[in-house]
Structure formats: structure tokens, C-alpha cells
Structure 1
Amino acid sequence: MTQATTDADASTGPVRRLTGQLGVGAIVFMVIAAAAPLTVIGGNVPLAVGGGNGIGAPVGFLIAATVLLVFAIGFVTMTPHVREAGAFFSYVATGLGSRAGLGAAFVALVAYTAIQVGIYGYMGWAANDLVTYFGGPEIPWWIYSFVTLAVVAVLGYRHIELSARVLGVALVGEITIMVVLDVAIFATGGAEGPVWSSFSPSNVLQPGLGVAVLFALTGFIGFEATAVFRDEARTPERTIPRATYLAVVIIGVFYALSCWALVTAAGAGGAVDVAQRTLDGEGNMMLDTADAYLGAGLRDVMNVLLITSLFACVLSFHNVLARYLFSLANKHVLPARLGSTNPRHHAPSFASVVQTVSAVVVLLALVLVGLDPLVGVFGSMAGVSTVGMVLLMIVTSVAVFVYFSRRPDAARGRVLPTRVAPVVAVLGLLVCTWLVLSNFTLVTGGGAGVSTVLALVPAAAFVLGCVLGGRYTLQEDEPA
């Protein structure tokens, strides 16, 4: 049985911790669920193919996965030296101090809140589309969004292992149906046989490569959440690194392979047109391909699983956000009540409730403004979240480098993971930042002015956190 534990702190009072027995598989399930594989294949892939570098788009997903794997080397190397949950902000605070740590925490709260609200908008649109497809009535999209929010609130209030089981079932379904489609496409040879030219430099290095990488990166949002669950993980020093590497590799390979399968299904000469019709609202690259290769019945199953994919995604983000609030409260940055645990469910239930209320407020504001659920709500919120996540990874890589530079004994014999990998990660992430910002209007769906304001939100959150920093102390670092 799991329970909450309390560590005494003479200067600041009790620091509550969550406990649990989550293994590598459970954590990987939640992280991959947050990535919403079916949602990314159905939405990001057409954008990468139709608006990016065409049939070379699969390589964009491989590039994003490679950059994140390099980042993960330093990230997991530092894991034994970070004595608390909190993911990015704990790592940044350990390496760069409390001010930068609080800045990272504020960015994370903004980024996760944005993507969560965006997914609620996407869910409302997708649920209404599903109901009307099967002949049901058309009702306002936001009704489905708020119903989903209520269900997430109930599950998020309870112990994390319940959410892990729910996410696991949903994830197995969506990955299974996509793997079946991939196998069917490659087994039949697609329209013209496997499109090997997808990996040709002449097709990869097109002007739209940046767009492909951008939408690939949005598909990885949340992968670092492995570290958020460290207090609830079984032997976190081993569980967290394994879960992180597995999550990045599985997500990257799955995205790239499925993107290549959809390109192969349409053929080298028709893939861009098929993707463009999806962007124009005249078709659905993923669902139409499923209809052609699996039949109408399995197409309908995939359509339903798209809903479960979105639900799994938003539930995972809810759990991560609640734990960020819990950790910050136990640093005495937020009200102490947020750092309490439910005696029955042994979960940060009050933080979960507060997080639910904040999501209701933001979503309601966007509804009242009259934004479109996809372009207005999902597009703009995904844009803010992507910028925030890339910023967080850059700062975290710098924190890893600085931490081990100041502690040569801890880095002895490990130059690659403690020095080289963080530097290479920063360079790769800076390139990704340029790619994201130079194509930002494609994500937000807004003009240059609105997109600029949205892009500056994460940076403003970081500055605010740094200004307010210095108000909490880290736990003493212990040797690995």
C-alpha cells in the first residue's frame, strides 16, 4: 500500500512527499500517453507533410528525437543528485540556484497549463466531430470540453496508480490500431512501394524542414515528466533514467515510422496533396488511410480511439501540473495547503482541485472570447507550450553543465554525459528554437503581432520567477 511521507525540516516545517511503487512501464505509459500518439499522427503529421518538407517529413521526427535523446543524457545523469520531484525546476534549481529554479517552475506551469487547455479545445472539436459522424446532434464543442474536464478532475483527485491504469488501457488501444495500420500499409506496399526517397537528403533538406521539426517537437511535450513521478517511483535512481530513454525512443520511432507509413500509403507523388487536403478540411489523412487499408469498421474504431488518445493526454498533463503545485508548495513558494496529501488517496488532491479550477477559468475565458477550438484554442496554446518546453530544456542543459563543473568529483570519468552532452544539447535546442520561432505563426494560427506576444509569455514567466526567487531553499544534495 502506498502512503504519503513527511520529512522534517527544522527551519521551514514538514515537507510532505508522495510515495508509490510505479515501475518503468507505468511511468513510460503516462509519458507516452501525454504525447498522445494518435493525436500527433492524425494532426501533426499532415501539418509536417503538407506544410513542411513533404515526403521528407519522417526525418523531422527523427531529428527531434535525436536532439531530445542527447538532452536526456545529461538530464538522467543528474537524476541521482536531485533529491526531489519537480522535473525541470528541481534540476535547474540544483544546478543554477533557487532564482533560476523558480523561473523554470513558472515556465513549466505556464507551458503545461497552456497545452492542457489546448487539448481540452481539441477534445471538444473531436468529440463533436465523432458524434455528428455517427449521426448524432451537433452541440457546442465546449460542452464536451467541460465534461472531459470533470472526468479528469475525478481521476486526478485519486491516487496516481488509478490514473496509470486508465492511461495504460487507452494507450494500448491507440498504439495497437496505429501499428496495425502501419503493418497493413507496408505489407501491401502502399501506393507505389515503400517511399525510400523520404530519407534522401534532397527531400529532407527542403525549406520546410523547420516546419516538420517544429510539429515533431510539439509531439514530445511532457516526456520529461518521468522525473515528476520520482517520489512515486520504485527505485527512482534506476527507474527514472530507464523510463526517460524508453519514452523518447518509443515516441520517436513510433512517430517517424507512422509518418513514413502515411507517406507510403499515398505514394511519393500524392502524399503532399493528401496532407494538404487534410489541412484544407477536405479530408483526413490518417482516418481516410485507415478506411482504405483497414476498412470502414476499423476506421470507426480509430476515430473513437482518437478521443481516448486526447483524454489520456489531458489526464497525464493534469497529473503533472498537480505535482508541480505540490512541489512548489513544499518549497513554501505557494500556499502550504497545496502541499498536502489526501489521507485516503495518498495523492496531492487539493493541488489537483486547484489545478482543475485554473483550467476551468482559462478555458471559460477562451470560450467567452469566441475562439475556434482548433486554430484559436489548440493552436495558440500549443504554440505557447512548445516555446516554453524548448526554453526549459535549454536552461536545464545549462544547469547540468554548471552543476558538474562545480563538482569535479561527481563528474570524474564521465566527461561525455556531464560536459559534452549538455553543450551539444544546448546547441541543438537553440537551432530548434530558431525553427520554432521562425515558423511560429503556423502553430498559433494568428498574425505576427499575436504570435509574438504568445511567444514572449514563457520568457516573461521565467523572468518573473527569477525576480521572485530566493524565497525557498533546496534540500541538501546527497551523493549518488
Structure 2
Amino acid sequence: MNNTSLDVPKVTRQNKENRLSGNMGVGELAMNVLAFSSPLATVAGTLPVLLMFSGQTAPAIYIGVTLMLLIFSVGFVKMSRSVQGPGGFYSFVTAGLGKPAGLGGAFLALIGYIFIGFFAPSFFGVTLQGFVASTLGGPDIAWYWYALAITAVTTVLAYNRIDLSAKLLTIVMLLEVAVIIVFDIASFSANGLETVQSVGFALPSITDATLGLALLFAVGNFFGFEATVIYRDEVKDPDKTISRATYLAVAGIGLFYAVAAWAFIAFLGPEKVQGEAESNTVNLFSDAVTGLVGRIFADIAVLLLITSVLACMLSIQNIAARYSFALASDRALPSFLGRVHRRHKSPYVSAVAVGIVWAAAIILFTVLGVAPEVLYPIASGSETFAVLLLMFITSLAVLVYFVRRRSFAPESVWKTVVAPVISVLFLGAITYLAIANYPELIGGSQLLTIIFMTFTFALFLGGIAYALFLRSKRPHIYAGLGRQRID
């Protein structure tokens, strides 16, 4: 039912010519999510950092985070069935906390995803430059040419119908998962069943000084699953597909990385894993794969790592383009960004705009002489915080939305009250840890911490201020913010 007394936007139906369309199923949507987390990049890059902070407790930390995010998914999925619009968190926050907060959340999402995505071109450029020059003995081409090339490729793919991206991402993800499974099996086999069983799952202590950072990095590996709702108009049977893909993605990511962490511990030994991860963070995975399976397989893994970055970047570009499209459709951004391709039914202008922003940033930082090794940790870490903050705000919006509805539409207490309360507490704690450990998150100084944290909160507050301006000066635009169908 509709209840305008709760300041919920009235229904605004898009005409078919300006509506996104696709035919993704559960598996393809889940693979889009998995691509965001970039399995090989996570296992080769982030997981050694997590092991450095957590040691043999890493698998248990992944399991714990998985359980918490599954609880978050309960209210999240319930909200996706009640707020039936393709605006993602933008629609959710609007429905729960009002239009100003919704617009602030939309700006956090859009800029956050664009910034996170910018880690990929620089990382891709450096990785491919080294592989071509050192491993293949080819020419030493500057990193920024590779970075511009990958930006062009993902932009062409994002320009097209989402089904093309989904098929490509599915193939790449299956290959990546296969490589990591081979690593897991090789690690467990090399040490014998008794050794593997003796490793077990050590539980972290609440007094561990590095537990906060370990939790923070673990939660970051799950980002992307929350974007399932942004594809509502591009999947088959949205209510079933979104809910199943969300649960599958969260559970799959958590178990997958827990087993990979367990494989590292089995290979290196529970007593040595933390020290090895600290002393050999960058090459921990490649050295382990080389020792277990051989150099040729390790080189194949590097090639798939390169394609993994491409898949991750494409996934992020698709999400950012859809947030841009949603805002433009509501006229909060220039209307041309809300155009839909007649044949591909994709947000092609927004997709190209994101690619242009990334290309311009690559050129700018190249001219300024900023090293790519400096760019990708800051781009990834700073706006990981933006997405985390948005998830916390969304969890609060979900709770408020269902609590306000209980007087006239009471539903399951577990789905609409208990699970959302647990989510608010959990994500609030993780957000606090991100603030407390922000310098480690971005690998930067206190000055950079102040700059980027201020910028992040300014995005949310700026969106609120912009919404209030629209309410005062352009009420016809304000009335359409967060357009959705409310059941």
C-alpha cells in the first residue's frame, strides 16, 4: 500500500523507452557481485593483509562477518520487496529517512563507487606493465597507457546491454574461482589431512589490538553484494532473483575466503602465518602458488589477476552508472545522464561519463607525476569508507522504515526489527573502527585522513543541503526524488 503521510515518494512510472532492461538470472547477478570483490585480487592482495592482522583467526573472522552480513541481508531483502525501485540505497534511504538523507546517500554511493573503481586502472597498469616487461620480455610501456586502455574496454562493455557484461563476468569469475580452488586443494594436499585438521578455526580475542583492522578489511571483501537491488529492472523475476543472489553472494564470498585463509594457514603453519604475511605481504600468494603448483600455473594466476581487475572495474562501472542514471532520471543530475540506449536498454550516457571521469583522472595524475602505487590504496581505502558509511545509514533507514510501518502494516518481528537492529549495531561498530583506523585504511598520513574523511561526510551533508535547496526553490524536482513503488 502507499502511505504518503510517511513522506514516501509517490509513484513515478518510467515509460518503457526510458527504462533499463535485461535478463540476468540468480547466477549472473551473483557473479556481478563476486566480480566486485575481485577474488584473485582479494586472495593475492587483501587476504595477506588480513592474515598480517589476524593470523590463524582469519577464517573465524570471515565466518563471523558472513553471519552478520546475512543478518543485514534479512532486512535488506525485505526492504527490496517493499520498496520496488531500481535506485538501490538511494531509494531505501529515501523511504526510511526522507528525501534529503536519500539524496545524501545517493551522492555517497555515486562518488564512493567512482572512487573505489579508480583503484583498478592504476593497479591494472602497474601489474600489466610488470608482467609484459619482466615475465614476457616485452616492451616497457608506461602504466598509464594500460590504464587508459582498460578504461576504454570497460566503458564499451558498460555501454552495451547488461547481459553482455554478465556473461563476460561469469566466465572470468569461474576461471578465477578455479585457480583459487586449485591453490586450496594443493595447500591442503601438500600438508596431509592430519596437519590440515590440526589447524582448526582459532577464535579471535576481543582484546586483540589488531582485531578492529582485521574486521574492517574482512567486511571490505564483501562490498558489492548490496548493489543487487540496483539491477531490479534488469533481472528476471526481481523479488526472487535479488533475494537469492544476495544470500548466495554473501554466504559464497564468506565461505570462499574463509577456506582460502585456511589454505594459507595450512601451507605456512598457524604459528608462522602472521609473521610470513607481515614480511612477504605482496608476494605471499604468488610464492605459495609457485611452491605448490609451479611457475607456469603462477604465471596463469597473474594473467587471471589482470582479468580479475578488469572484471572488478566493469562491475563497479555498471553500478556507478546506474546510480548516476537514477539521479538523472529524478533530475537531481543533468537529464542527459538519464538516457537509455534504444537497443541495449543500458544507461549508456552515464556509463560513458564514468569512463571519461576515470580517463581524465588518469591523465591528471600522470601530468602531476603521482605514482600509481600511491593512487590505488588511497582510491580504494578512502571510498571503501564512503560505501561502509552508506551501508550503516541504509541499515538505519531499513529499521526506521519498518518500525514506522508497524502501526498499520505489522510484519515479522525478526525481519523488520530484530535483524535490522543487529545490523545497525554491527555496521555502526565497523564504521567506528573505520574512523579510528582511517590512516591504515588508506595507507596515508593524518593530513590525507582529514582531507578524505571530511570530503566523505561533506558528500552526505552536501546531498542533504542540495535536497533542501530543491525543496525550497524547485519543489517539482524535490517531489520526484527517490521515485519508487511502495508496497
Query: In 2, Cα distance between the equivalents of 1:233 and 1:399?
Result: 25
Query: In 1, Cα distance between the equivalents of 2:350 and 2:285?
Result: 37
Deviations 1:247-306 (A, max 9, x none): 111111111110111121111232123212323x5xx11111111111122111111110
Deviations 1:302-354 (A, max 9, x none): 11110111110000111111111111111111122111111122211111111
Amino acid paired to 2:239: E
Alignment RMSD:
2.3
Q: 1:306: which partner in 2?
A: 305
Give ranges in structure 2 of 5+ residues lacking alignment. 1-10, 472-477
Is the contact made by 2:17 and 2:342 (CA closer than 8 Å) also made in structure 1? Answer: no
Q: After TM superposition, give the deviation of residue 158 of structure 1 in Å.
A: 0.8
Give the match's secondary structure for 1:194: helix
Relative to 1, partners in 2 of residues 1:237 and 1:270: Cα closer, same or farther, differing over 3 Å? same
Amino acid paired to 2:356: V
- So what's the TM-score if we normalise by structure 2? 0.91
Q: After TM superposition, give the deviation of residue 175 of structure 1 in Å.
A: 0.4
Is the contact made by 1:62 and 1:253 (CA closer than 8 Å) also made in structure 2? Answer: yes
Give ranges in structure 1 of 5+ residues lacking alignment. 1-7
Query: In 1, Cα distance between the equivalents of 2:125 and 2:58?
Result: 28
Q: 2:122: which partner in 1?
A: 121
Is the contact made by 1:121 and 1:145 (CA closer than 8 Å) also made in structure 2? Answer: yes
Query: In 1, Cα distance between the equivalents of 2:293 and 2:193?
Result: 15
Query: In 1, Cα distance between the equivalents of 2:44 and 2:275?
Result: 15
Q: 1:355: which partner in 2?
A: 354
Identity %: 35
- So what's the TM-score if we normalise by structure 1? 0.92
Q: 1:106: which partner in 2?
A: 107
Q: 1:405: which partner in 2?
A: 403
Residue 331 (structure 1) aligned with residue 333 (structure 2): no
Deviations 1:403-432 (A, max 9, x none): 112212675240111111111111111111
Deviations 1:57-76 (A, max 9, x none): 22332233233222111111
Q: 1:449: which partner in 2?
A: 447
Query: In 2, Cα distance between the equivalents of 1:293 and 1:324?
Result: 43
Query: In 1, Cα distance between the equivalents of 2:212 and 2:340?
Result: 44
Moved more, 172-181 or 342-351: 342-351
Q: After TM superposition, give the deviation of residue 21 of structure 1 in Å.
A: 1.6
Q: 1:278: which partner in 2?
A: 280
2:418 corresponds, among 417, 420, 435, to: 420
Query: In 2, Cα distance between the equivalents of 1:66 and 1:196?
Result: 24
Query: In 2, Cα distance between the equivalents of 1:340 and 1:459?
Result: 29
Q: After TM superposition, give the deviation of residue 159 of structure 1 in Å.
A: 0.6
Off by >4 Å, runs of 4+ in structure 1: 12-15, 195-198, 202-205
Query: In 1, Cα distance between the equivalents of 2:339 and 2:215?
Result: 40
Residue 318 (structure 1) aligned with residue 317 (structure 2): yes
Amino acid paired to 1:153: T
Q: After TM superposition, give the deviation of residue 36 of structure 1 in Å.
A: 0.2
Amino acid paired to 2:264: L
2:42 corresponds, among 21, 40, 43, to: 40
Amino acid paired to 1:188: A
Is the contact made by 1:57 and 1:198 (CA closer than 8 Å) also made in structure 2? Answer: no
Query: In 2, Cα distance between the equivalents of 1:15 and 1:408?
Result: 37
1:142 corresponds, among 138, 141, 144, to: 144
Residue 19 (structure 1) aligned with residue 18 (structure 2): no
Relative to 1, partners in 2 of residues 1:14 and 1:22: Cα closer, same or farther, differing over 3 Å? closer
Amino acid paired to 2:234: E
Query: In 2, Cα distance between the equivalents of 1:64 and 1:138?
Result: 42
Give the match's secondary structure for 1:360: helix
Query: In 1, Cα distance between the equivalents of 2:334 and 2:17?
Result: 13
Q: After TM superposition, give the deviation of residue 91 of structure 1 in Å.
A: 0.7
Query: In 2, Cα distance between the equivalents of 1:236 and 1:328?
Result: 21
Amino acid paired to 1:340: R
Residue 53 (structure 1) aligned with residue 54 (structure 2): yes
Q: 1:370: which partner in 2?
A: 369
Is the contact made by 2:118 and 2:380 (CA closer than 8 Å) also made in structure 1? Answer: no
Q: After TM superposition, give the deviation of residue 26 of structure 1 in Å.
A: 0.9
Q: After TM superposition, give the deviation of residue 472 of structure 1 in Å.
A: 4.3
Q: After TM superposition, give the deviation of residue 468 of structure 1 in Å.
A: 0.9
Give the match's secondary structure for 2:18: strand
